[in-house]
A and B are shown apart, each in its own frame.
Chain A
Amino acid sequence: MNLHEYQARDILKRHGIPVPDGDVAQTPAEAQTIAQRLGGKVVVKAQVHAGGRGKAGGVKLAAQPDEAAAHASRILGMTIKGLTVQKVLVAPATDIASESYVGIIVDRGSQRPVLMVSDAGGIDIEEVARATPERIYRLAIDPRYGLLPHQGLGLALRLYRDLAQARSAAAIMANLYAAFYAVGASLAEINPLVVTPDGRVLALDAKIVIDDNELGRHPEIAALRDTSAEAPSEVQAREAGLTFVKLDGSVGCCVNGAGLAMATMDLVKYYGGAPANFLDIGGSSNPQKVVDALRIITADPHVKAILFNIFGGITRGDDVANGIVQATRQFPLAVPLVIRLTGTNEAEAVKILTQAGFSALTDMDEAVRQAVARAAT
């Protein structure tokens, strides 16, 4: 789950990392009030889950409160990479002497959290990694001991010659590492970490991504979810306990298991079609999940055919068959349905489907070919 910049800043602040003052606004009037309170020059920043906000015109400087309001009214409602801006952050414009990068991810190779720092701050770290990899310093942290003081200071000295600044940066790294574990992050980055002309080290922008598996034990973090930033079908799917990713093709896919779901989408493409979605109905499926899945898939007007691909292991074929029959009774389908079903309780499933007037295939390739053909006509 992605957090907004203002939410990430709050977390950093709670963990003792210096961030500039500021507040979030949903209307131009609110933006004006915040600018007034802050006094002086401010920056108005769009709060969306997308990079490149500055280039898209979503970050503006304002000298006066009324100018902040004017910028806010232009930015609020603006679309950046398909996402509508609902909130802006209003913060004091900070004078910058230098910019660096500090981030933590969980590295799959070393199986440890890795702290990364770079003196090339303010730009996308992937860009830095591509263009000037020698400007990124990495340290794998042993989570049983945490970030040791000499490790943090060692990395900080790569960024700053001034010992006081290096000590400030090292403290920020230690606090960022503590925050990383405390909120259950899979990524936490400060970009840029700046030094002001008077020598203070500040986190100017922050990004935190939360591991979805942590949300159960961190209700306060789960409550930060901004559903307005997601496709409505994906919100609906999550509430129904389904894993769903919307795509832009015409073959709706309903599959049990994530790997098989991806392989099914790939096979749709192999036979010349385009998948409309990724959807995993999960392991121990009950009929209601199938009903919910069909409702979500059929809500997409681009779907011209629906493909079920079920390989029964834990998932029982008769449960899925019952779900299909129930769902199509509740709302008749306007698009053709192709069903591939094999494995556990296959015979019972075929009987249920046949009685309801459906036919079921057992071969995956044949089913995908048929679904692609039906979607094309």
Chain B
Amino acid sequence: MIASTLVTLALRALLASAEPEQVAPPAAAPVEQAAGQEAHAPTAGHGAPAEHGEAAAEGGHGGGHDASLGAVMMHHVTDGYVVEYPGVCEGRPSWNCEWNLRETFGDSLRFGALDMTPTKHVIFMWLASAALLLVVFTALRGKAVVPKGLYSFVEVLVAFVRNELAVPNIGPENADRFLPYLLTAFFFILFLNLFGLLPYSATATANINVTVCLALFTFFITQYAAIRAMGLGGFLKHLTGGVPASLAWLWPIMIPVEILGLFTKPFALTVRLFANMVAGHFVILALLGLIFAISVWVFPVSVALALAIFLLELFVAFVQAYIFTMLSALFIGAAFAGHGHDEGHGEAHGHGEAHAPAEAHH
């Protein structure tokens, strides 16, 4: 409760004090007043623009960018063609060197309307994938009947996905066929989530274009499983929602509903993962932004709360990987079960857990 209140307060203060730079001067006065009242810090209004400059500098967003905190937060979470890193650039060490992918790749990866130029999220997706390969292949060196080292940990996760997600939801006879997909999805999402928590990195799973791709894989595999289990005829018949031919006049209602039903599942998967990853980052940025919006003296509270949310994010990284994998397994299992409407419990469960952090920032 306290955390959500503070986050709301922070967002209000940040965005309110950010306004003067974006809107016309007459609108600035009342908003600044409101910010001052909310934050109980009369100096905040005056100090805000100067501190915003600091915020931008500290956050590594100097130069000609929009320096308001709201913009800084958006910049952190959204995708782009500029990768920032600490290193040596223009002949001197700097905390915020920039690598412009547009400049590097130019138009070489533009195919008509399709722009395949790697973005920041693509780069960090590759880095996270490389980290995943590194971890898994390092772990594999410890593979033995009596496991040791990192392998034990990887194997625990594999065994968990297999015994707790795949087998109970899909059934022991079909589970192993879908296990590679579920395991890859689990580890891929987990590593992308965790990688996003590193300084300077970006969370690819906080991009709806990435999550929709993962959800589409689950969608296609689910349809494949359904067609395989029921045959193409059975699959098409299933789209009537089980309404018999004698009630064929109901089909114009049932078929669109069923087809919509097919797409709600991947849509839910897409938005759940995306929203959760974005929300956590927003909360952390908002809490740290309090330091610049109110006063530097709120830093103990800000940093402590941001740390708490960061730890929560670590947990959420696992939970979201788990939920995505679990729901994928559930959908595949439901396709095998013949009629895919018994996943309501899993959906509700997923929503309850997954949306708590997302709601915190509203």
Q: Do A and B bind each other?
A: no
